[in-house]
Structure 1
Amino acid sequence: MKIREILNTTKHRPWKVPTENWKFYQEWNNAIFLHYQVELTELEKFVPQELEIDLFKGKPWISIVAFTMEKIRPKNLPSFSPISDFDEINIRTYVKSNNKTGVYFLSIEGGKSLSCKIAKSISELSYRFSNIKRTDERYQSQNSEFNDKLNIEFKIGNELNEKAELDKWLTERYALFQDTDDSINEFEIHHLEWPINEIDIQKLELNYPRFEKLINERPSKIHYSKGVKVLAWGKIKKKKTGYNTV
């Protein structure tokens, strides 16, 4: 699907697409979602007070999302595979700010060191390098600095004909919020609705010591998606003096 068609497909969005020109194109492909219902008091330790934790029927959730980033590039420039394509794992929760529902990253890892450095420099997202390998039925990651480990063996099932309310709540998010030392950055994104498949997790090993009270080897819900094509806008920095687009 062409970019213009993606921009013109908006019925699934909770608010309008930004009127400004988008700045980055990227693809989030072959994504595995491990979702966890968690305790609010424990999650609050990791989320800045400027953001409101979003709840589904009174309960907060976090998700581990393991996927492959591909073809990321600025508008009007081509992608460069050695930098633009890399595996990524993020641990995210669901938040609200400025009348928008979005995600907040507790952790974000990339499988190429240079790609992580460039992404961190441009976006201010806290990318860090991890040794990530994947095949069609396995996804592995190891980070010796934090002693983080993820090992998933899986088989992809059928695509869902109908999504439950929770399926959409966990996946259809069109804003990203991230904190820095002096601001909360907001990113607008747009893509078509996630296609979701069933997935059979045949083996799951994980160890994230910092989040041991939030995640374990028994996720509350799991998804797989072949992916989406994504448009992203420039970050908006929220400071005491207001908003400044960068």
Structure 2
Amino acid sequence: MPNPDHTALLSMRWRDAVFAHWPIDPDVIAPTLPDALAVDTGPDGRAWLSVVGFVMEDIRPRFSPIGRSFPELNLRTYVRHGDDSGVYFYNLDADDSLSVAIARRLFRLPYYRAEMQVTESEEGIRFRSYRTHDGVEPAAFDATIEPRGPASPAEPGSTAAFLVENYRFFVANGTLFEGTVAHDPWAITPANLTIRENTLFSASGFDRPSGEPLVHYAPGEAVTAGRIRQVEHRL
């Protein structure tokens, strides 16, 4: 459920969201996490690595008349910090140099500059990203998603709800930080995903998970983001 203490600092819309989730052994995830975090598993007891991409539309601070829009792509897993559950970001790639710089400097988020395109055709929605950030491992993603039906909220308690309904996130940069988002439940639909290239796993030190991903598409939701606070020292 959304954090009741959430205070909106930024507003935006997340459009054309691609969710691709690979099940993975929790023992693979655990060594990659800060000590303060534990692997969270879904209803079937599996850990997951997820590639999630979308277009961030009209992102703006509270009361600002000017917004920015750009695609984002992230690699994440699912974690617990005490009684709180959320996602842990290994990286967030974005096609907006100013926003990347602000996110890295002010909010300590692991954002990286990337060249990205999101285009729609008869085949579906194609999401392309190539990381161009200096001093970090390059990463590429090129896939087309084809929704397979009308979108509706995930069944509460289902694996799909575990994977898409997350309102808290964690990032680590010597210390552990926590942030919150708020939005209505995602309206999602199963989808076909044709992947041409995906080096996000290797760029973050993972072997590519075996098997096919569980894939969902969401047309979009209005979202607010709250403050980011430090929750652990000296990781």
- TM-score range (shorter-chain normalised) is 0.7 to 0.9
The amino acid across from 2:181 in the alignment is I
TM-superposed CA distance for 1:67, in Å, is 0.8
Q: Report the aligned-residue RMSD.
A: 2.2
The amino acid across from 1:154 in the alignment is I
Figure out how many residues of one structure are paired with residues of the other and give that number: 223
Give the alignment of 1:62-211 within 5 angstroms: 62-80=49-67, 84-136=68-120, 137-143=125-131, 146-161=137-152, 163-164=154-155, 165-181=158-174, 183-208=175-200, 209-211=202-204
Task: Tell me the residue number matched to 1:6.
Answer: none
Q: Higher relative contact order at CA 8 Å, sep ≥6: structure 1 or structure 2?
A: 2
Structure 2 portions without partners, runs of 5+: none
C-alpha distance 98-216 of structure 1, shift in aligned 2 (>3 A): closer
C-alpha distance 229-58 of structure 1, shift in aligned 2 (>3 A): same
Please state which structure has a larger fraction of its residues in strand: 2
Q: Secondary structure, in 3 states, of the residue corresponding to 1:231?
A: strand
Task: Tell me the residue number matched to 2:19.
Answer: 33
Provide the rounded CA distance (Å) in 1 between the counterparts of 2:168 and 2:105: 20
TM-superposed CA distance for 1:79, in Å, is 3.1
The answer as to whether partners of 1:17 and 1:190 remain within 8 angstroms in 2 is no
The amino acid across from 2:66 in the alignment is S
Identical-residue share of aligned pairs (%): 24
Provide the rounded CA distance (Å) in 2 between the counterparts of 1:198 and 1:38: 20
Provide the rounded CA distance (Å) in 1 between the counterparts of 2:153 and 2:118: 29
Q: 1:166-194: per-residue Cα shift (whole Å, max 9, x none)? A: 1100011111111122x211112211000
C-alpha distance 130-176 of structure 1, shift in aligned 2 (>3 A): same
Structure 1 portions without partners, runs of 5+: 1-12, 242-246
Residue 45 (structure 2) aligned to one of 55, 58, 66: 58
Give the TM-score taking structure 1 as reference length. Answer: 0.82
Provide the rounded CA distance (Å) in 2 between the counterparts of 1:58 and 1:119: 33
C-alpha distance 217-139 of structure 1, shift in aligned 2 (>3 A): farther
TM-superposed CA distance for 1:28, in Å, is 1.4
Provide the rounded CA distance (Å) in 1 between the counterparts of 2:210 and 2:95: 22
Q: Which moved more, 1:211-220 or 1:98-107?
A: 211-220
Give the TM-score taking structure 2 as reference length. Answer: 0.86
TM-superposed CA distance for 1:132, in Å, is 0.9
TM-superposed CA distance for 1:154, in Å, is 2.7
Task: Tell me the residue number matched to 1:224.
Answer: 217
